[in-house]
Amino acid sequence: DIHLTQSPSSLSASVGDRVTISCRASRSMSNYLNWYQQKPGRAPKLLIHAASSLQSGVPSRFSGSGSGTEFTLTISSLQPEDLGTYYCQQSFSTPIFTFGPGTKVDLK
Amino acid sequence: QVTLRESGPALVKPTQTLTLTCTFSGFSLNTGGMCVTWIRQPPGKALEWLARIDWDDDKYYNTSLKSRLTISKDTSRNQVALTMTNMDPVDTATYYCARINRYESSGYYAIIDYWGQGTLVTVSS
């Protein structure tokens, strides 16, 4: 199974800051990487698929990049509503899915 | 409009079998490429993928939990069920059902594009 790690595990940032979250895979998986946002008490929401494709309806301040084993989610200008936990998820070894451990984002 | 809703017991005793039902609308599991999956999240912890069932009735399980899980579908009722045997307090979690949508774009991709609200299951005597 592919193992995913994320860094940092948590971060504090101010409104308007540029935020970067990393996801690393235990082996190369092309661009079969999705990103989800989970707000407290809510179900996760798909943000980015295929490493860099913005899901319909997601604000353009979110972007994704990377391929192989290194991936990045960027929030270009953090907004208060962006607080929550972000998870990467691989679909390379579909039908088996795995999620990263998550990165918690809160306001400084 | 795609919706999914989980239902089942909020409390189960250790060693009991848990049965959860996902009732969905806005799509059909008879449609090629459609799948329904179950994912759980212990309080304060990360997401864990559990199982998946496809439109063609193929079924897949988390390798660590495979011996305890069974997923099934009733397309006439738009429902997917998950059973987990021999429940333990460590299985206390919010259980989500969700839709997997597969698409082709220089490869076959799978995304979890719609989620239920989740149902908290507590395992305690």
**pLDDT digits 0-9 by tens, B53-73:** 999 999 999 999 999 999 999
* CB within 8 Å: A99 and B48: yes
Place of tokens 């660590």: B64
So what's the pLDDT on residue B74?
96
So what's the pLDDT on residue B124?
97
Q: Average pLDDT for residues B81-108, to the nearest whole number? A: 94
C-alpha angle with apex B81: B80 to B86, nearest 5 degrees? Answer: 160
Find residue A36's DSSP bridge partners: A46, A87
So what's the pLDDT on residue A75?
98
Q: What percentage of chain B carries pLDDT values higher than 70?
A: 100
First to last CA, chain B: 40
Q: Average pLDDT for residues B24-29, to the nearest whole number? A: 96
- Residue segments in chain A with a per-residue pLDDT below the cut of 50: none
pLDDT band with cut points at 50, 70 and 90 for residue B98? very high
* CB within 8 Å: A50 and B105: yes
* Nearest of A86, A87, A100, A88 to residue A13 by alpha carbon: A86
pLDDT band with cut points at 50, 70 and 90 for residue B105? confident
Q: CA-CA distance, A11 to A103, in Å (whole number)?
A: 8
Sheet strands (E) in B1-125: 3-7, 11-12, 18-25, 34-41, 48-54, 59-61, 69-74, 79-84, 93-104, 108-115, 119-123
* CB within 8 Å: B112 and A44: yes
Please give the residue of chain B at the shortest CA–CA distance from A50: B109
Q: CA-CA distance, A26 to A37, in Å (whole number)?
A: 22
So what's the pLDDT on residue B120?
98
Q: Which residues contact B118 (CB under 8 A, 6 or more apart)?
A: A43, B6, B41, B94, B95, B96
So what's the pLDDT on residue A86?
98
So what's the pLDDT on residue B106?
79
